[in-house]
Structure 1
Amino acid sequence: MIDHPFPELEVGQVKTSRGRTLTETDVVNFCMLTGNWLEIHANTEFAKSALYGQRLVQGSLVFAIVNALIPFDSTVVEAFYGVDRLRFLKPSFIGDTVWARTKIIDLRAKKDGAGVAVSELLGVNQRHETILRCEFSLLIRGQRLAPTGSDPFSSMEFPES
């Protein structure tokens, strides 16, 4: 999503992700992690008589997956700054494939050349339905941070072959 320091970003820049299928394993693991065992997510028989006739993937899981589909460059992203106007526009089901698209809609400078990049984040499914929309904000560094000590082999000696 953001792969340049703040001074190099421009309003209007767009990134699109690869696709990812939402699975039974995702839903069960998320139930375990969060304790969200609502029957609409965890009980097939209950869900058959509900509005959509099948289990729904948890909205918070859909948001987490869609937002993570856009890669982040850790050398320029300082922190997640917030999310506003999050709306789930269509339900997501086990077996749906989702994609993400971001478009920078605002840039707010901070000190030392850093700033907040606000992007519109859209999630779309294989039926070309927009499943979620929000404004997603990241704190972006003014310059690239060089990772230190990230090469564990740099101080090792290897025998000649």
Structure 2
Amino acid sequence: MSELAYDDIKVGDEASLIRTITDADIVSFADLTGDTNPIHLDAEYAAHSMFGERIAHGMLTAGLISAVLGTRLPGTNSIYLGQDLKFVAPVKIGDTVTVTATVTEKRNDKRIIKLRTAASNQRGELVIDGTAVMKKVGL
């Protein structure tokens, strides 16, 4: 976990994490959220979809963005104010996803930090692109 002070965070700072998405991740996410859409859980159904196989929930991958923001940059003592996301490509079982957050702007009067958020797979293909707004409440 990162406990960065607001003043120590600079435009251009970046943090990331890497995770390989498993079948168990998808099943657990479906159980937790109740999103049991067969595109995520039923191989036969998914085989006839535009993806040709099961895919991870978009919000499962987006949750990894939350993990970067809450634990690395800006880290603890931050509040998630907003997130814009564009789901660019599917994440499939076995894909290794790299999620990156990059500080693009700071608003010192309100201690607000804007970040570009992105996720890409092991082939370097962008799967999620977005922008997050965080507020540093401590340090």
Q: TM-score range, shorter-chain basis?
A: 0.7 to 0.9
Tell me what 1:78 maps to: 78
Deviations 1:52-79 (A, max 9, x none): 11011000111002431463332xx231
Structure 2 counterpart of 1:134, from 114, 130, 135: 130
C-alpha deviation, 1:137, in angstroms: 1.7
1:106 and 2:108 are equivalent in the alignment? no
Cα distance in 1 between the residues matched to 2:56 and 2:120: 14
Match of 2:113 among 105, 117, 121: 117
CA distance in 1, matches of 2:29, 2:15: 27
Name the % identity. Answer: 28
SS of equivalent to 1:138: strand
Question: Pairwise mapping of residues 43-82 of structure 1 onto structure 2 (< 5 A)?
Answer: 43-69=42-68, 71-72=71-72, 73-74=75-76, 77-82=77-82
- Cα drift, residue 109 of structure 1: 2.3
Distance (whole Å) between structure 2 residues aligned to residue 81 and residue 110 of structure 1: 16
- Residue 39 of structure 2 is matched in structure 1 by 40
Partners of 1:2 and 1:41 lie apart in 2 by 33
**CA contact 2:16–2:101 (8 Å) conserved in 1:** yes
**Equivalent residues of 1:27, 1:58 under 8 A apart:** yes
CA contact (8 A) 1:81 1:138 kept: yes
**CA RMSD, 1 decimal:** 1.9
Conserved? CA contact 2:114–2:133, under 8 Å? yes
Paired residues of 2:80 and 2:135 also in contact (CA < 8 A) = yes
User: Which segments of 5 or more consecutive residues in structure 1 lack a partner in the other structure?
Assistant: 144-161
Is the 8 Å Cα contact of residues 29 and 60 (structure 2) preserved in structure 1?
Answer: yes
Per-residue CA shift, 1:117-150, capped at 9, x if unaligned? 111011011011011011112211362xxxxxxx
Question: CA–CA distance in 2 between the matches of 1:29 and 1:39?
Answer: 14
- The number of residues matched between the two structures is 136
User: In the alignment, residue 8 of structure 2 is paired with which amino acid?
Assistant: E
Change over 3 Å in CA distance of 1:22–1:66 after alignment to 2:
farther
Residues of 2 paired with 1:32 and 1:142: CA distance? Answer: 34
1:41-62 CA-to-partner distances (Å, cap 9, x unmatched) read 1111011111111011000111
Which of 1 and 2 has greater Rg? 1
Q: Structure 2: which 5+ residue stretches go unaligned?
A: none
TM-score by length of 2: 0.87
